[in-house]
Chain A
Amino acid sequence: MSISVIGLIKAAVLNGTPLLFGTSGEILTEKSGNLNLGVEGLMFMGGAFGLLGAFSYGQIAGENAVGSVAIAIAFLMAFLAGVAGSLIFSFLTITLRANQNVTGLALTIFGTGVGQFVGELMRLKVGGNVTISNALKDAFANGVLPMALQKIPLVGPILFSYNVFVYIGLVMVLAMTYFFRRTRTGLALKAVGESPATADAAGISVTKYRYLATVIGGGISAVGGMVYTMTIAGSVWNHSGLAGEGWVAVALVIFCLWKPINSLWGSVLFGGLLILYLRLPLSFIPTQIYKVVPYIVTALVLIIVSMRQRKEDQPPAALGVNYFREER
């Protein structure tokens, strides 16, 4: 029994990690007042380009491939793919003032297309399944901490047994929390998302903050797609593997009430819910109902938050609204 509980916790953390990246990136974006509904597309791009990076490196380096280098390349490729995608979004919505909802959805169509295209193209070029060597796969998926830590009973498997991305995500979220709570820039960014006109009057460049938050946030979200492809999907491009992951991340942003720190446990919870039907099948609950629980919970959170009207739980006041200085 205790083993299966530990197994469930481990699986929840592993499944939650792509969400952790996807969500915290989108939180950064939404805090600036930009609602980027292109996360699904960004994660597809991140997944495909991350795999492309690791795969190409593996082909070039051959026997001498080093795991950490492959991870760095995949990470960078995914991040840059996300930066490119969200740069399109930023340019259209911030500079060209296009509607955010529509632009985000167009980005999702474009990004999933690009992801699938890159994945399929790799498969056509290689003439079979695109994958990387087992040594590299292990570098992505195996625990990074010293064996001594991993072997501690109970605590070891639950806390210290994960792949490198879990810990990178943890550090990143803590840094983001510190950024929002303790730094001047973080405060300014929140001001831009709450009331761009006020921020503008205070001498904060709304344009610069929105661009940077959206682009960096998009990069982080895209890394989530790479983490999914390289760890959960086993470093193989799978046609529909990533489908829906980005939308769960968008839901999770709401569930976390736009606070990065909440995404730590929120992503584990949602990650767990997504795989619970495999681990804990109860005959009286159909598997499909398990799968919608994250969305139902999110909808309930959204309702409760709007009914209670507590200031600190609300979405950024300017979320989804473009800022036109001349219409102040």
Chain B
Amino acid sequence: MNEKAPFLRLAKRENINKRNVWLIRAAAFFTALVLGGLIFVIAGADPINAYGSLLEGSLGNPAGLRQVIKVATPLLGTALALAPCFKMKYWNIGAEGQITMGAVGASYLALSFGDTWNSFLLLPAMAIMGVIFGGLWSGIPAAFKARYGTNETLFTLMMNYIAIGIVGWLQGGPWEGKPGSQIIPMFKPAAVLPRIMGVHIGWILVLILTAIMFIYMNYTKHGYEIAVLGESENTARYAGMNVTKVTIRTALLSGGISGLVGFMVASGANMTLYASVAGGVGFTAITVAWLSQLNPLGMIFISLLLAVLSKGASTLQTSLAVPASISDIITGIILLCMLGCEFFINYKIILRESKNKEGQK
């Protein structure tokens, strides 16, 4: 193997300053916007004009802004839920199902006691039920992972569709409103989250949760255990941590928060329950959590960005006759570009000629 040194080789960057990190990310984002612009051209729209009306439609008026916050709230909440799992390198991709089950738990109380309880009792009870249901739904795969090493990525994925199927069954069966309608009745006012500035108060709860999660991840013993376990299971074991306990506890916490999000969406945004209550949020939130490097503060920004895109693109359909699915394409492009750019933050590429740095040994 004594060939010449390869034309390109890689070396890990030891310390890169903050400014360059953000320059690389900005370049990736810009690239994504240019590629997205090409899609607009294919659709027969002027890209600059299109981006303009995208921003106009989402941020340019109060109604659009409210929609953006409404879309961003569950994304942020779920990304927060996933952060500890991912930090632990436990690949919970079952948030979709955990949101759905949380919504089921909350809806059960809403439908049963909407007439008799007042909202000061009912709403907190619904929130707790959401947490319990979401937590249990996440706890099942975690228990099997801890006991038998069952692959959690695949198991949590299956749990999503089982949860969605359960709601589908409730919709057409036990909880159906008008017979044959396949629709669960709207919640009574006591079961509906109040609004602040035109959006249900979920957004405030989620912001508080962001702060709590930031502290939990960075300044608590639990957070430390999660970080160690994520780095190396053996290290955690030698340090005397109970790996089974930490795994299950973190998964319960994560599912619980997702369940809380399910409660917020059902009670605050939809005011009823239907099978697509999670609507892909559980999957998109995975990318939100990852792109923000599991940093709760970064998640606020990323979830707002994606919300602006999806709200803005839905107005494009009416104003420019561009299919609304373009928001998925552009979201996808942004995600893929941002994922790719991390490489250039972590590694540098060295051309053969330059011999100023020693290679890896």
Contacts and interface: CB of A to CB of B under 8 A. Distances in A.
Given A109-B332, A112-B328, 4 more contacts: A92-B339, A102-B335, A108-B283, A117-B323
B7 interface: no
Given A116-B323, A288-B172, A35 B335 contact: no
B39 A102 contact: no
A127 B157 CA distance: 38
Contacts of A250: 154, 157
B180 interface: no
B267 interface: no
Contacts of A113: 325-332
Nearest to B42: A121
Given A96-B343, A288-B165, A295 B336 contact: no
A299 B360 CA distance: 43
Nearest to A38: B332
B287 A254 contact: no
Interface stretch (B56-64, B145-153, B252-260): B145-153
Interface residues of A, number: 52
B108 interface: no
Contacts of A111: 332
B335 A106 contact: yes
B287 A109 contact: yes
A42 to B, nearest CB: 12
Nearest 5 CB-CB pairs, A to B? A110-B332, A113-B328, A292-B165, A116-B325, A120-B323
A163 interface: no
Interface of B: 12, 39, 42-43, 91, 93, 144, 148-151, 153-155, 157-159, 161-162, 164-166, 168-169, 171-173, 283-284, 286-287, 290, 321, 323, 325-333, 335-336, 339-340, 342-343, 346-347, 360
Interface stretch (A52-60, A73-81, A209-217, A302-310): A302-310
A195 to B, nearest CB: 17
27 contacts: A96-B343, A97-B347, A101-B93, A102-B335, A102-B339, A106-B339, A110-B328, A110-B329, A112-B328, A113-B325, A113-B331, A116-B328, A288-B171, A289-B169, A291-B165, A292-B166, A299-B158, A302-B151, A302-B158, A303-B148, A303-B150, A303-B155, A306-B144, A306-B151, A307-B150, A319-B151, A320-B153
B81 to A, nearest CB: 16
Chain A CB count within 10 A is highest, among B144, B171, B340, B360, for B340
Contacts of A105: 93, 283-284, 286-287
A106 B287 contact: yes
Contacts of A98: 339-340, 342-343
Contact of A295 (B43, B165, B347): B165
Interface in A274-328: 286-289, 291-292, 295-296, 298-299, 302-303, 306-307, 315, 319-320, 326
B102 to A, nearest CB: 18
Interface in A25-84: 35, 37, 41
Contacts of A116: 323, 325, 328
Contacts of B287: 102, 105-106, 109
A260 to B, nearest CB: 18
A198 interface: no
A124 interface: yes
Contacts of B144: 303, 306
Contacts of A96: 339-340, 342-343
Contacts of A320: 91, 153
A255 to B, nearest CB: 10
Contacts of A286: 169, 172-173
Nearest to A41: B332
B191 to A, nearest CB: 24
A306 B148 contact: yes
Interface in A81-133: 88, 91-92, 95-99, 101-103, 105-114, 116-117, 120-121, 124
B154 A254 contact: yes
